[in-house]
Amino acid sequence: MSLRRITPRFVRGLLLLVGLAAAAAHAQSPAVAPAAPRRGEAVAIPAEALPARADTALEKGLELESRGRWGDAVAHYERAMRQNPEDRRLERRFGIARLHSSLERRYADASYLDTLGQLDTAAALDLHAELLSKIQAHYVVAPPWTKLTRDGAEAMLIAARDPGFLSQHGIRPSAESVGRLRQELIDRLSAAGQVRNAREALRLASDFSRLGEAELGAPASAWTLEFVAAAAGGLDGYSAFLTPGQLRDVYSQIEGNFVGLGVELKADGGALLIVRVIPGSPAEKAGIAPGDRITAVDGQQTATLTTDEAASLLTGDEGSYAYVTVASPVEGDAAAHLTAKPTPQGAILGESRTIRVRREHVEVPSVEDARLTDAAAGVAYMRLPVFQKSTARDVESALWDLRRQGMRTLVIDLRGNPGGLLTAAVELADKFVDQGAIVSTRGRSEGEDFDYRAHRAGTWRVPLVVLIDGDSASASEIFAAAIRDNRRGAIVGDRSFGKGSVQGIFPMTRSGAGVRLTTAKFYSPLGREIDKVGVSPDVLVSAEADVVATGYRGAEPADDAALVRAIQVARQQAKLALQQPAVR
């Protein structure tokens, strides 16, 4: 299975990312926050007189937390924080939900459990020391050592009540022992005061890990790994600890291939919404389509599982089978018919069917649906689902095919494109921009500062329209901003996501794990910041104007307001192109 959120690039031996992982950074934490509610526990909703929209979002998030749906809560809080950026309660709950989700994912990951079994206390501390050293050397701003230490203590208390953690280590601590641990952590954090450097952070993590072993019984190495995960994840919404399996997935995405069903998923009211089906994949061959909802996997109802648990059931070895229960939207459901996006009121679903799907090696195409959409006017179209290693080469091939068919203007659809390889975005922009800046990156270390510029050789002069929306992120924004700032084409659609940072993938020297760290921010050719701002279109077409968006593949123009407008702009460009020599 592919959850195509993030894709990397290599620079100077360092693996860097410019893809969408999460939408916001953690809030600063008190020494140890109140424990989050257990499944089924009642949740008290704060009564602060803040905007009703934020109150409603908080209530919904707490409801997800009370059901133990931590991955869904993370996604919910991400969306809510974009709408309520000043609400610290949402930031705080996002941080708590992310700690829970991280723990849940790791303890459902066989590669992490293998690592856990191989590391003794000294080895776990060495891993933590290496992580802190990388944060010190590469993180985009001065590391918040105090916050990271407090996050680690909070992660310990979350683990002390998590069924997966307790079962894995064979412990059943009493409420009294957890309470003693909590109070001792509070007292020690208060006595420590500000944590000034990585050395002090490591010492406290070591002390607290031994305390966890003494009070509750799980080995100190297990508690230390909670500090490892919390330190990486507590920096911002994009940095994270990577288990060996997750690190392998990242490397697979570099090449644009993996083993799975070939679908992209989102949580949707207890089901898994099919956002995209990769062309030629096992899922497509089985008749699964964007907009379908998976309601059970191998007989287990997704409503009783967390999103991560349900998604993990879809993974497996090449040649194995998954039994997937799928429901499709009823024809004529105007509210959610094939929207391929979660809908607040839910979709009207037809009768469920169970399909046997064989897990296979899936090649992810970097160009989809390249065609001449208006032969008379010479308007060509292509969709780019992600920026990966082969994108520039595949686009070049498609351009020559479209040129032979009579292309005089081109619509490039980046809607829903979460990003990918920074170099792929630069290489693609370089195909259309003949001179000047493409993008610049700036970090705390001078080694992260780069200025990427265009080269005249091989430039295509075909007029451009670039389609974007609120899910176009990172590498998509690099390309769109380069086209906009260099006045190379028209940007049509909705404001983009606003993910303007670069992440580096650092393999760890032991354990087979890795860490993703934010190392720099990137800026448009005119020096405009992208992070939390996005790219504004020249022609605004709100996403709400679209009646249908079947993963942006195969929708007729009449059903897709943004595409209709983009084609109109392209036709205007084509009229001007008729007065020019043949494009190249």
Positions marked catalytic: 474, 485, 499
Q: How far is CA 496 from CA 339, 374, 493, 542, in A?
A: 19, 27, 9, 11
Alpha helices, DSSP H only, in 433-491? Answer: 475-485
> What type of residue sits at position 261?
L
The answer to whether the Cα torsion of 435, 567, 425, 501 is positive or negative is positive
Collect all residues with Cβ–Cβ distance below 8 Å to 52 and sequence separation of at least 6: none
- The number of residues making up the chain comes to 584
Collect all residues with Cβ–Cβ distance below 8 Å to 94 and sequence separation of at least 6: 24, 26, 27, 74, 77, 78, 81, 237
Backbone angles phi, psi at 35, to 5 degrees: -60, 140
26 CB-contact burial (10 Å; exposed 0-12 / middle 13-18 / buried 19+): buried
> Do the Cβ atoms of 222 and 229 come closer than 8 Å?
no
**How far is residue 428's CA from residue 426's CA, in Å, rounded to a whole number?**
5
Bridge partners (DSSP) of residue 254 are none
Backbone angles phi, psi at 538, to 5 degrees: -75, -35
> What type of residue sits at position 211?
L
- What single DSSP character describes residue 384? -
HEC per residue, 256-281: CEEEECCEEEEEECCEEEEEEECCCC
Alpha helices, DSSP H only, in 256-322? Answer: 282-285, 307-313
In the numeric block, which tokens belong to residue 378?
């010479």
> Closest Cα to residue 516, out of 18, 4, 113, 29?
18
- What single DSSP character describes residue 237? S
In the numeric block, which tokens belong to residue 503?
């992440």
> Closest Cα to residue 377, out of 571, 174, 188, 192?
571
Collect all residues with Cβ–Cβ distance below 8 Å to 577 and sequence separation of at least 6: 378, 408, 409, 462, 463, 583
409: left (phi over 0), alpha (psi -120 to 50) or beta: beta
Write down the residue that tokens 């079947």 correspond to.
Answer: 550
